[in-house]
């Protein structure tokens, strides 16, 4: 136990009652108190002359008291205290209501640092909402006051004082843990100094230095923790030692096309992992249509020929069924048994699948996340393929490992993100990238139009359908919601059915339908029995109907860019020129910019980066659900430069001292172990 673990109630000025309030703010101990970073600052280092500031403006002044206080009593139960002051040029009154006692805190001819709002009333200048302090040696340059997130019963002042008390007692017990070499290289502010200055900065420059130090500190520990988990997984979890991949290669040869170089490279990395006696924990990033699913399938064939079972988890039942159908088709000439496990199976069917699975009569099981749940027992699970859509955290992936005897794990993501972020969000995984699309893919023509173009679009769709193509129409919500002014899918369906697309076979698909119904609708669309599929975003991921060449997206402004890109990926999957039409009902600048990005880029990496930029931090994905410690001061997006530095440093650190045995690295090692202890026993040996 170190000093920073001391419970907050024992800090001067706290006690049990306030401790309960602080708990609501997530502050339980000294460490959490010290790292309770102000959400903003009230900068009172700039003193204004009264003349310089506008009426109604809140400013700081340096004012001398030039007379004695007077009290007015305009009504019963009301007093107005007035203290005359000057800034040397302009005279004014400090004003308080019903706080007459304050006059005893002022002395004539003394100078005070005052913060308040300038007003004019009755021909005189007044300063109201006054905060003040007598000028002294320490504060004469003014102060930057921390502004904390608060809870009822704890004022900003009280919280500030508690932090101050804590610092006055424990300042010297705040240990440094960043290795000296890194401290020196970046001329980092010492930890205790940085903590003091983040709460009570003497000036802007010091505040920025303190902040940067704490951001770097946070990223260093985060990245180190993730790297250690990854290392531990690979070192400790002895994986399965799979043999040569003869059938997998034969399958590859049997395909009517050649894999792209990028697919080959990634497959090579996967094979190497599978053959090594370490457990594979690999993320494959690749744009929609880059052929990830196929790569995963080849890996599963390899697992099967090595005597294991493979499991593939899809984010939706529709997609699971589709994978089941296409993989069954791919493998029809191979002696490999495939099973499908989804929630909508009848009990008898489900039981049959489970029995076969247990007996080893199913080689490859495809399903939703249901397939890694309790009661699903594999005979010999060797490879799990998951889709990033599940948003598994570090911890869940560890649980997954326990399903078999450390099966290899392959995570697929179609929402590619910049490497710097991937290293954090998937910091415990090795990363492979498929950065190339199969040849011959035609660029999807993308148009962003307003609602006024609806008729033209619908007649275009009509024409395409006459010539044999199919079309997706996407609407964001299924139930009427006036507030959002979005046409519900049901309404839209009725409308189009009765008007623009009267004679066209059209069906509606949404997430609240029964699975069997969804499947049937999907397969009718796939077979070409229906020409238009009106749908909510349930078609977002993976759905593969090569003959569909138009996707029309209503209220496109309501979708994130990455999501639009996913949706667009539903077309352009066959030989026909394809079109993505974005109906943008909003005229705001960011929406227009987003539409512009969609029109000008077809690269998922570029789009996701733009998405981050336009949406701002936090919205893209909560980091919490990924199971990594919460960031208290650093921001993954706005502080990305510092993040990059931290990643470089950690890589070097682990190269130099992989086990963190050196003296200089003991402190940071302990810090990381503490920080990550909620993720299970990380031992770092
Ligand atoms: P992803 O999962 O990355 O979106 P898929 O694996 O579903 O992509 O592949 C999209 C389509 O492209 C599928 O129909 C697949 O059979 C086909 N495909 C995959 N790899 C190639 C390739 N190298 N050449 C041609 N077509 C390919
Ligand atoms: Mg896929």
- For the Cβ of 401 lying below 6 angstroms from any atom of ligand 1, the answer is no
What proportion of the chain, given as a percentage, has pLDDT over 90?
Answer: 54
Task: Verify whether ligand 1 is closer than 6 Å to residue 407 (CB atom).
Answer: no
Q: Which residues contact 22 (CB under 8 A, 6 or more apart)?
A: 8, 14, 28, 33, 154, 162
Q: Report the pLDDT averaged over residues 435-443.
A: 84
Residues 6+ apart with CB under 8 A from 35: 195, 632, 633
> Over 50: is that where the pLDDT of 539 sits?
yes
Nearest bound ligand to CA 389?
2
Does residue 288's CB lie within 6 angstroms of at least one atom of ligand 1?
A: yes
Residues 532 and 595 in one domain: yes
d(CA 395, CA 414): 21
Per the CB < 8 A criterion, the answer to whether 93 and 116 are in contact is no
Q: Is residue 592, in this structure, part of any structural domain at all?
A: yes
- Phi then psi for residue 86, to 5 deg, are -140, 150
Q: Would you place residue 678 in the very low, low, confident or very high pLDDT band (cuts 50, 70, 90)?
A: low
pLDDT digits (tens, 9 = 90+) for 415-432: 777 777 777 777 778 889
**Same-domain status, 260 and 388:** yes
User: pLDDT grade, residue 625 (50/70/90)?
Assistant: very low
**How close is the Cα of 383 to the center of ligand 2, in Å?**
17
Higher pLDDT, 630 or 666: 666
Backbone φ and ψ for 25, nearest 5 degrees, come out as -90, 5
- Which ligand is in closest contact with the Cα of 297? 1
Is the CB of residue 259 below 6 angstroms from any atom belonging to ligand 1? Answer: yes
Q: Does one domain contain both 30 and 51?
A: no
- Residue 167 shares a structural domain with residue 251: no
**CA 464 → CA 26, 100, 282, 449, 454, distances in Å?**
58, 81, 41, 18, 15
| Pocket probe mutation, ligand 1, options 291, 314, 386, max atoms within 8 Å of Cβ | 291
Lowest mean pLDDT among 28-32, 331-335, 453-457, 474-478: 474-478
The percentage of residues in the chain with a pLDDT greater than 70, rounded to a whole number, is 91
Would you say residue 131 lies in a domain?
yes
Over the stretch 79-89, which tens digit does the pLDDT of each residue have?
999 999 999 99
Model confidence at 397, in pLDDT bands (50, 70, 90)? low
Our answer on whether the CB atom of 604 is closer than 6 Å to any ligand 1 atom is no
Atom of ligand 1 nearest to the CA of 290: 3
Mention every residue, 6+ apart, whose C-beta is less than 8 A from residue 575. 546
Higher pLDDT, 233 or 564: 564
Task: Reply yes or no on whether the pLDDT at 46 is more than 90.
Answer: no
Report the side by side order of strands in the sheet with 430-434.
Answer: 338-341, 364-367, 309-313, 381-387, 408-413, 281-286, 430-434
Mean pLDDT over the full length of the chain: 87
Using a 10 angstrom Cβ sphere, with 0-12 exposed, 13-18 middle and 19 or more buried, the burial of residue 467 is exposed
Are 133 and 12 within one domain? no
Domain presence at residue 559 = yes
For residue 541, the CA-to-ligand 2 centroid distance in Å is 8
Q: What share of the chain is helix, strand, coil (3-state, %, to 5)?
A: 45, 20, 35
Query: Which letter, b or e, does each residue of 94-128 get, where b requires 16 or more Cβ atoms within 10 Å of its Cβ?
Result: bbbeeeeeebeebeeeeebbbbbbbbeeeeebbbe
Same domain, 347 and 258: yes
Q: How far apart are the first and last CA of the chain?
A: 21
Q: What band does 619 get if pLDDT is binned at 50, 70 and 90?
A: very low
Closest atom, ligand 1, to C-alpha of 573: 11
| Adjacent-strand bridge partners of 131 | 115
The sign of the dihedral angle between the CA atoms of 62, 67, 68, 72 is negative
CB atoms within 10 A of CB 212: 18
Domain co-membership, 283 together with 331 = yes
- What's the gap in Å between 319 CA and the centre of ligand 1? 15
The reported pLDDT for the residue numbered 365 is: 95
Shared domain check, 487 and 402: no
| Same domain, yes or no: 279 and 165 | no
Question: Band of the pLDDT at 372, cuts 50, 70, 90?
Answer: confident
Whether 415 is in the pocket of ligand 1, judged by its Cβ within 6 Å, is no
State pLDDT tens for residues 541-563. 557 889 999 999 988 888 888 88
Q: What is the mean pLDDT of residues 510-532?
A: 86
Q: Are 318 and 518 in contact (CB under 8 A)?
A: yes
pLDDT tens digits, residue range 199-240?
999 899 999 999 999 999 999 998 998 888 877 766 666 677
Residue 452 above 80 pLDDT?
A: yes
Nearest in space to 227 (alpha carbons), one of 674, 672, 538:
672
What is the pLDDT, as a whole number, of residue 442?
A: 79
Q: Which atom of ligand 1 is nearest to the CA of 263?
A: 23
Is the CB of 144 inside a 6 Å radius of any atom of ligand 1? no
CATH number of residue 74's parent domain: 2.40.50.140
The number of the ligand 1 atom at minimal distance from the alpha carbon of 546 is 14
Phi/psi at 460 (5° precision)? -65, -45
C-alpha 188 to ligand 2 mean position (Å): 45
Pocket test for ligand 1, best of 255, 294, 433 (most atoms within 8 A of CB): 294
Q: What is the pLDDT of residues 266-314, one digit of tens each?
A: 999 999 999 988 888 899 988 878 899 999 999 999 999 999 999 998 8
| Confidence category of residue 392, pLDDT binned at 50, 70, 90 | low
Among 122, 142, 162, the domain-final residue is 142
Question: Other C-beta atoms within 10 Å of 615: how many?
Answer: 16
Structure tokens at 377: 């027992």
- Domain membership of residue 386 (yes or no) is yes
What separation in Å is there between the alpha carbon of 317 and the centre of ligand 1? Answer: 20
116 pLDDT above the threshold of 90:
yes
CATH number of the domain enclosing 169 = 1.10.150
For residue 257 and ligand 1, the question of a CB distance below 6 A is answered with yes
Tokens of 661: 């045995």
- Regarding the beta carbon of 197 and ligand 1, being less than 6 Å apart is answered no
| Inside any domain, residue 132 | yes
Instruction: Specify the pLDDT at position 199.
Output: 97
Helical (H) or strand (E) element with 640: helix 640-656
Nearest residue CA, atom 9 of ligand 1?
291
Tokens representing residue 25 in the block: 């703010």
Instruction: Choose the weakest-confidence range: 77-86, 213-222, 317-326, 623-632.
Output: 623-632
User: What is the Cα 596 distance to its own chain's centre?
Assistant: 24
What phi and psi values does residue 635 have, to the nearest 5 degrees? -125, 125
282 and 401, same structural domain? yes
Is the model more confident about 580 or about 277?
580
Check: CB of residue 535 under 8 Å from CB of residue 508: yes
For atom 25 of ligand 1, which residue has the closest CA? Answer: 438
Pick from 415, 457, 479, 444: which is nearest to 584 by CA? Answer: 457
Q: Which ligand is nearest to the CA of 286?
A: 1
Across 122-136, average pLDDT: 92
* End-of-domain residue from the set 142, 160, 192: 142
Q: Are residues 429 and 449 in the same domain?
A: no
- The mean pLDDT value for 652-672 works out to 93
> How much is the pLDDT for 337?
96
For ligand 1, whether the C-beta of 159 sits within 6 Å is no
Q: Which atom of ligand 1 is nearest to the CA of 286?
A: 3
* pLDDT score of 1: 53
Q: How far apart are CA 603 and CA 444, in angstroms?
A: 11
**DSSP state string for 251-284:** HHHHSSSPPPHHHHHHHHHHHHHHHSSBPPEEEE
Q: How many domains does the chain have?
A: 4
Helices (H) then strands (E): counts for the chain: 21, 21
CATH number of the CATH domain containing 261: 3.40.50.300
What residue's CA is closest to ligand 1, atom 24? 438
The pLDDT score that the predictor gives to residue 484 is 44
Q: Which residues contact 352 (CB under 8 A, 6 or more apart)?
A: none
Pair (561, 587) in one structural domain: yes
The answer to whether residue 620 is domain-embedded is: no
Q: Which of 142, 157, 189 is the last residue of a domain?
A: 142
Q: Which domain holds residue 164?
A: 1-39+149-174
Element (H, E) at 607: helix 604-615
Distance 298 CA to ligand 2 centre (A): 13
Q: Is the CB of 290 under 6 A from ligand 1?
A: yes
Q: How far apart are CA 317 and CA 323, in angstroms?
A: 10
Q: Say yes or no to pLDDT of 540 above 60.
A: no
Shortest-distance ligand to the CA of residue 388: 2
Task: Indicate the pLDDT class of residue 344, thresholds 50, 70 and 90.
Answer: confident
Confidence of residue 682 (pLDDT cuts 50, 70, 90): low
Using a 6 Å cutoff on CB, does residue 360 contact ligand 1? no
* Structural domain includes residue 190: no
pLDDT at 621 over 50: no
As a whole number of angstroms, the distance between CA 153 and CA 408 comes to: 52
CA of 571 to the centre of ligand 1 (A): 13
The rounded distance, in Å, linking the Cα atoms of 432 and 236 is: 22
Question: Nearest to residue 382, comparing CAs of 285, 323, 299?
Answer: 299
Probe ligand 1: pick from 251, 254, 289, max atoms within 8 Å of CB? 289
**Residue 272 located in a structural domain:** yes
The protein residue whose alpha carbon is closest to atom 18 in ligand 1 is: 291
- How many C-beta atoms lie closer than 10 Å to residue 370's C-beta? 16
Atom 20 of ligand 1, nearest CA residue: 291
| CB of residue 539 inside a 6 A radius of ligand 1 | no
**Beta carbon of 528 within 6 Å of any ligand 1 atom:** no
Of 443, 41, 404, give the one whose Cα is nearest residue 238: 404
pLDDT of residue 654 exceeding 60: yes
Q: What is residue 139's predicted lDDT score, i.e. its pLDDT? A: 77
Q: Is 389 in the pocket of ligand 1 (CB under 6 A)?
A: no
Angle between helices 156-170 and 15-24 (to 10 degrees): 110
């Amino acid at each position: 136990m170190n000093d920073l673990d001391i419970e907050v109630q024992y800090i001067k000025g706290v006690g049990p009652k306030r401790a309960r309030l602080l708990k609501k703010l997530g502050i339980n101990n000294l460490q959490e108190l010290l790292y309770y970073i102000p959400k903003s600052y009230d900068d009172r280092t700039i003193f204004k002359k009264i003349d310089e500031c506008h009426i109604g403006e809140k400013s700081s002044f340096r004012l001398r008291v030039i007379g004695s206080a007077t009290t007015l009593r305009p009504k019963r139960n009301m007093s107005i205290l007035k203290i005359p002051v000057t800034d040397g040029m302009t005279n004014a009154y400090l004003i308080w209501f019903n706080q007459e006692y304050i006059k005893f805190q002022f002395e004539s001819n003394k100078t005070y640092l005052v913060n308040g709002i300038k007003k004019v009333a009755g021909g005189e200048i007044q300063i109201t909402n006054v905060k003040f302090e007598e000028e002294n040696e320490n504060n004469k340059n003014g102060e930057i006051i921390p502004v904390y997130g608060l809870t009822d019963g704890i004022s900003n002042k009280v919280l500030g004082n508690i932090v101050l008390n804590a610092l006055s007692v424990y300042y010297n017990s705040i240990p440094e843990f960043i290795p000296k070499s890194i401290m020196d290289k970046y001329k980092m502010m010492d930890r205790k100094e940085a903590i003091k200055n983040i709460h009570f900065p003497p000036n802007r420059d010091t505040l920025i230095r303190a902040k940067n130090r704490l951001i770097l500190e946070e990223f260093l520990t985060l990245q180190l923790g993730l790297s250690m988990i990854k290392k531990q997984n690979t070192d400790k979890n002895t994986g399965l030692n799979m043999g040569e991949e003869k059938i997998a290669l034969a399958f590859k040869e049997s395909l009517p096309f050649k894999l792209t170089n990028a697919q080959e490279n990634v497959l090579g990395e996967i094979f190497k992992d599978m053959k090594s006696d370490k457990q594979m924990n690999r993320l494959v990033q690749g744009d929609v249509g880059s052929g990830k699913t196929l790569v995963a399938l080849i890996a599963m064939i390899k697992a099967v020929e090595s005597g294991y079972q493979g499991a593939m988890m899809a984010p939706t039942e529709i997609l699971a069924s589709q994978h089941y159908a296409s993989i069954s088709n791919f493998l029809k000439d191979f002696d490999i048994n495939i099973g499908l496990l989804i929630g909508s199976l009848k009990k008898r069917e489900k039981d049959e699948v489970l029995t076969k699975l247990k007996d080893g009569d199913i080689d490859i099981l495809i399903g939703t996340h249901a397939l890694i749940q309790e009661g699903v027992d594999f005979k010999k699970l060797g490879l799990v393929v998951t889709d990033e859509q599940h948003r598994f955290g570090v911890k869940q992936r560890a649980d997954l490992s326990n399903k078999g005897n450390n099966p290899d794990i392959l995570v697929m993501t179609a929402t590619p993100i910049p490497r710097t972020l991937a290293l954090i969000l998937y910091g415990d995984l090795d990363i492979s990238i498929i950065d190339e699309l199969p040849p011959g893919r035609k660029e999807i023509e993308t148009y962003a139009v307003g609602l006024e173009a609806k008729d033209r679009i619908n007649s275009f769709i009509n024409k395409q359908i006459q010539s044999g193509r199919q079309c997706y129409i996407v609407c964001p919500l299924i139930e009427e919601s006036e507030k959002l002014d979005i046409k519900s899918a049901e309404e839209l369906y009725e409308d189009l059915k009765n008007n623009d697309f009267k004679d066209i076979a059209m069906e509606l698909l949404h997430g609240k339908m029964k699975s069997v119904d969804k499947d049937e609708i999907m397969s009718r669309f796939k077979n070409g029995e229906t020409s238009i599929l009106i749908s909510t975003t349930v078609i977002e991921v993976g759905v593969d109907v090569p003959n569909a060449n138009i996707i029309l997206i209503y209220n496109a402004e309501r979708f994130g860019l990455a999501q639009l890109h996913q949706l667009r990926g539903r077309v352009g999957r066959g030989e026909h020129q394809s079109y993505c039409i974005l109906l943008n009902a909003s005229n705001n600048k960011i929406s227009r910019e987003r539409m512009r990005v969609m029109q000008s880029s077809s690269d998922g990496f570029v789009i996701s980066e733009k998405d981050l930029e336009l949406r701002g931090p936090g919205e893209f994905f909560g980091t919490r659900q990924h199971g990594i410690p919460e960031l208290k001061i650093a921001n993954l997006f706005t502080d990305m430069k510092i993040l990059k530095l931290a990643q470089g440093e950690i890589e070097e650190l682990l190269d130099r001292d992989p086990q963190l045995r050196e003296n200089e690295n003991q402190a940071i090692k302990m810090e990381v172990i503490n920080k990550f202890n909620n993720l299970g026993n990380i031992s770092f040996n």
